[in-house]
């Protein structure tokens, strides 16, 4: 158990819909990262937050957005969903001085 | 931009044998960290081992060890005494103070009895 909690574990939704994925980082970790893993694209970095502020942005689509709340949990919002958004979405966290990133179990999103 | 390359899409090994997974990376930074993550069929990402670039000594975690060649930008993972539970996808990853984790495409390791 990495200590990173993600909900929901599985989600099936229709094209055009909007979903929210939730993440609680390890206790004390200030940084939260979101990654997308699809069959053909491998593991893609989406976005990083540090103590509530956006720190780095990767290959995140404009239809996607994220935020980190004062209690440090984070949410990834995916809107106008397309079939190609079907993937495993990982949340990960790291500490203030640590360079190791620990992953949650992921949220499986299936868009039908 | 930093890149991570895993040139072996698939590898196989027999139980109790040793296998080495290859990884190369490209960066202009001098201070960075390298990782191997294991992803079993459950799809969970499990940290296997990490190496700080400033350390010359190769990292070791039980049956897992790395061969870190900084000048060659090579970071291979050696699994000794392979077990059936080692069967998984293995990802090499790079990060620095200014980058999040950058992953290679992965190597699928199968273990036969």
Q: Which residue did the predictor score with more confidence, A61 or B1?
A: A61
Look at residue A62 and give its three-state secondary structure. coil
Residue B39 pLDDT greater than 70, yes or no? yes
In Å, how far is A43's CA from the nearest CA of chain B? 6
Mean pLDDT of A16-29: 96
* pLDDT tens-digit readout, B82-113: 999 999 999 999 998 878 899 999 999 999 99
* pLDDT tens-digit readout, B3-33: 999 999 999 999 999 999 999 999 999 899 9
- In B82-95, which positions are buried (b, 16+ CB within 10 angstroms) versus exposed (e)? beeebbbbbbbbbb
Contact flag A56-B100 (C-beta cutoff 8 Å): yes
Under an 8 Å CB criterion, which residues of A touch B?
33, 35, 37, 42-43, 45, 48, 56, 58, 88, 90, 92, 99-103, 105-106
Residue A41 pLDDT grade (very low, low, confident, very high; cuts 50, 70, 90): low
Residue B69 pLDDT greater than 80, yes or no? yes
Contact flag A33-B100 (C-beta cutoff 8 Å): yes
């Amino acid at each position: 158990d990495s200590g990173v909690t993600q909900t929901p574990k599985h989600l099936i939704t229709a094209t055009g819909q909007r979903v929210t994925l939730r993440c609680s980082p390890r206790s004390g970790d200030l940084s939260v990262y979101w990654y997308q893993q699809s069959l053909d694209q491998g593991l893609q970095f989406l976005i990083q937050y540090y103590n509530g502020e956006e720190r780095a942005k990767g290959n995140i689509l404009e239809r996607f957005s994220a935020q980190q709340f004062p209690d440090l949990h984070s949410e990834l919002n995916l809107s106008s969903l397309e079939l190609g958004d079907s993937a495993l979405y990982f949340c990960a966290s790291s500490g203030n001085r640590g360079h190791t990133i620990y992953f949650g179990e992921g949220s499986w999103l299936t868009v039908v | 931009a930093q890149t991570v390359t895993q040139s072996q899409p698939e590898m196989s090994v027999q139980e109790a044998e040793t296998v080495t997974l290859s990884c190369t990376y490209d960066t202009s930074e001098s201070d960075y960290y390298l990782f191997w993550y294991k992803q079993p069929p459950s799809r969970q990402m499990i940290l296997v081992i990490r190496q700080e670039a400033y350390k010359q000594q190769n990292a070791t975690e039980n049956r897992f060890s790395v061969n870190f060649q900084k000048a060659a930008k090579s970071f291979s993972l050696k699994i000794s005494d392979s077990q059936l539970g080692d069967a998984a996808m293995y990802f090499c990853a790079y990060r620095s103070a200014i980058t999040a984790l950058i992953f290679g495409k992965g190597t699928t390791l199968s273990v036969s009895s």
